[in-house]
Amino acid sequence: MTVAQLKASRDPVTQQTYIPPRPLVGDGSLREAEMVTVPAQGVLFACTTFQNELYGIVDLDCGSRIQTLLAPGTERIGERVTAHSVDEKGQARFGHE
């Protein structure tokens, strides 16, 4: 099964990755960020339910932390999660590998 890719940007000096992507890096230098894609996989850090949807905080392998939708049954914190598709709005739904 293939792993989806997320649109991101990266600081060419520090290699810090930003998701969602941004045109400039976050240190106030006005340095342009490089547009990149990163694998949508990492470790589930936290999860919660809101209005019958399951949400989680995922520490991606690229070093970024994102809030995302989770597939039903994806509540095991500390385990690896992967998104296998990203919709037209750039949103991924992560589930256990």
Q: What is the pTM for the complete model shown?
A: 0.88
Average pLDDT, integer, range 35-41: 96
pLDDT tens digits for range 51-96: 999 999 999 999 999 999 999 999 999 999 999 888 877 788 999 8
- Tokens, residue 16: 């810090």
What domain range is 80 assigned to?
5-96
| CA dihedral angle for residue 84, residue 88, residue 93, residue 97, rounded to 10 degrees | 10
Q: Domains in the chain: how many in total?
A: 1
CATH number at residue 55: 2.40.50
